[in-house]
Amino acid sequence: MDYQSIFERVEAKYVITRKQYELLMNELTDRLTPDRFPHSEISSIYFDTDDFCLIRTSLDKGCYREKLRLRSYCLKDDSSEVFIEMKKKYHGVTYKRRQAVTYRQAMNYILFNKMPFDSQILKEVDYLMNKYPDLKPKVLIRYQRDSFSGIDDPSLRITFDYQIEYSTDNLTLFNRNPEKKLTDNDTIIMEVKSLNAMPLWMTSVLDKMNIFPGNFSKYARIYTNDIMKGVKLCLNNYSHPYTAERSRLKYLSSAQLHQSY
């Protein structure tokens, strides 16, 4: 198993400009080193219920939140490695558990409930799928990521996400050209991930540059800016079955797309 499957950490996000990014990297030259995978093109499919229970709970800022997604860092074909991931946040601490499978195995499991093999993490995923029996693919998010780790503290990880695009219709990881942009070319989402509190030197640099935490969840932003607007529009037109029916049609479309599995 050549990957980390369990994470427990504190995360903080910041919305910065490209100019701030350049100035920040000049400040952190002696503190950071490129990560094992310094650049990635990430694609993720987020799953939710017909009434978007998971993302609504997250937006309510409760003490406990959970997400389920399928993520790829380099998808070439059906045999490429992808990750089925669960993210949970409890009282400010993020817990992530992920299982590596092939894309074919992932689609067989997610769409047709064919467990690829037995593992503790897949059992936990299965529990979540049974807890929310109407979980379905809802959003595809694709973006570029640059990753760094601390020189003195390798557990410190800082990532920069940009060129964030998404789709609410073509929900396959092979969709390399999502139809919609979430951010403009000048916006970068920085995330600082640490085992405990952020190092004082990092806090000092951010304060010096007037960079402050910003609440930015890609899926949550898409839900509030796009999906909810569509739901409200249809409700205003008295199309109350909109949410469930639209989700069902998308899910069936996705299943047909992978029916060869």
User: What residues of the chain score a pLDDT lower than 50?
Assistant: 233-261
Residue of 18, 233, 45 whose CA lies nearest to 139: 45
In tens, the pLDDT along 112-152 reads 889 999 999 999 999 999 999 999 999 999 999 999 999 99
Question: Does the 6-257 domain belong in CATH 3.20.10.10?
Answer: no
Q: What pLDDT shows up at residue 247?
A: 44
Nearest to 164 by CA among 146, 147, 180, 176: 180
**β-sheet bridge partners, residue 160:** 146, 190
pLDDT at 26: 95
Per-domain boundaries in the chain: 6-257
The radius of gyration of the chain from alpha carbons, rounded to an integer in Å, stands at: 19
- In this prediction, residue 243 carries a pLDDT of 43
Report the C-alpha gap between 43 and 45 in whole angstroms.
7
